[in-house]
Amino acid sequence: MTKYFEILGRIRNGQNSSPNWYYHIFTKHISCHITAIMYFWDIKPDNVTFSMFGFGFIGAGFYTTGTDTGYIIGSIFFLLLNIADTSDGELARLVNKTSNFGEYLDRLCHYFTNSLMCLALGLGLYNSTGEVFFLYLSFISCASYVLDDASKDLLFLIDSQNDLTRSAGAHSVSLSKNSKVKMTLLHLFAHSSVWHILPVIVGLGAVLPNFNFLIFSGHVWYIIIFLAVLPFKMLFRLAQISKKYRS
């Protein structure tokens, strides 16, 4: 048991200073224990990263149902994905096996699972409402997400500050940098926000019969806003890049 707490201490000392609220409130407190267990089981960091594909695929499948149960179970699988996403880096640093391949695999997984989540949420809205508009919205939002995230990665890649860690580099090109209002909005409607907030809104709708706004329930409006925000984030990112390299 002494060895376990020693390893746990090393993991906690190596945890990063991410500005993500959910990381500090929830994820890092769970991931450190998962990482410690995987260390003793001699699990490889890349295998943890591969598990994210499975969690994302299953979670998206539940989202497509468009039901309260589907949104809750789907969010649980995306929470597991998020924990795995944190644990793979913690484990790699712990066993000194960080690599460019691991970074590449992690980014590939995010492109796949985040894109799939956009499509799944739109399909879920379509299945629950019958409105074809939501299918178009999900496709546009998915394409916007990919272009936005690819633009951010490329911006970081060619930035003169590329000696930074990717985490620090990502913050340097963040749309919310130096703005608490933008930071709050992004924390409410970022990909990682969905699987934390969506189950809460679904739960409120279950216990509060009047938790509806106009023709849709609260969680449907939340998903609509999340998907609608993505094209605007993409446009702001492109404007940021244009300003950066025209100055």
Q: Is 22 helix (H, G, I), strand (E, B) or coil?
A: helix
Q: CA 86, CA 94: separation in Å to the nearest integer? A: 12
Q: What percent of the chain has pLDDT over 90?
A: 51
Banded model confidence at residue 213, pLDDT cuts 50, 70, 90: low
pLDDT of 135 higher than 70: yes
C-alpha pair distances (Å), 223 with each of 116, 190, 231: 14, 11, 14
pLDDT at 222: 93
- Residue range(s) defining the domain that contains residue 157: 2-246
pLDDT at 65: 96
Please write down the HEC assignment for all residues of 100-143: HHHHHHHHHHHHHHHHHHHHHHHHHHHHHHCCCHHHHHHHHHHH
pLDDT in tens, 147-196: 998 888 777 776 655 555 555 555 555 665 666 666 676 778 888 999 99
Pick 247 or 59 by higher pLDDT: 59
Q: In total, how many domains does the chain have?
A: 1
Pick 23 or 66 by higher pLDDT: 66
CA geometry: angle 135, 218, 61, nearest 5 deg? 45
Question: 27-36, 61-70, 155-164: which range is least confident on average?
Answer: 155-164
Banded model confidence at residue 1, pLDDT cuts 50, 70, 90: confident
Task: Give me 3's structure tokens.
Answer: 């060895």
CATH number at residue 14: 1.20.120.1760
pLDDT of 86 higher than 70: yes
pLDDT at 170: 54
Q: Say which amino acid occupies 92.
A: A
What's the whole-model pTM score?
0.89
Question: 70-79, 98-107, 193-202, 220-229: which range is least confident on average?
Answer: 98-107
User: Residue 152: which residues within 8 A CB-CB, separation 6 or more?
Assistant: 170, 173, 237
- Within 13 Å of residue 213, how many CA atoms lie on the same side as its CB? 8
pLDDT at 212: 62
Question: 14-18, 130-134, 135-139: which range is least confident on average?
Answer: 14-18
**Phi and psi at residue 152, to the nearest 5°:** -65, -40
Q: What percent of the chain has pLDDT over 70?
A: 83
**Phi and psi at residue 216, to the nearest 5°:** -120, 155
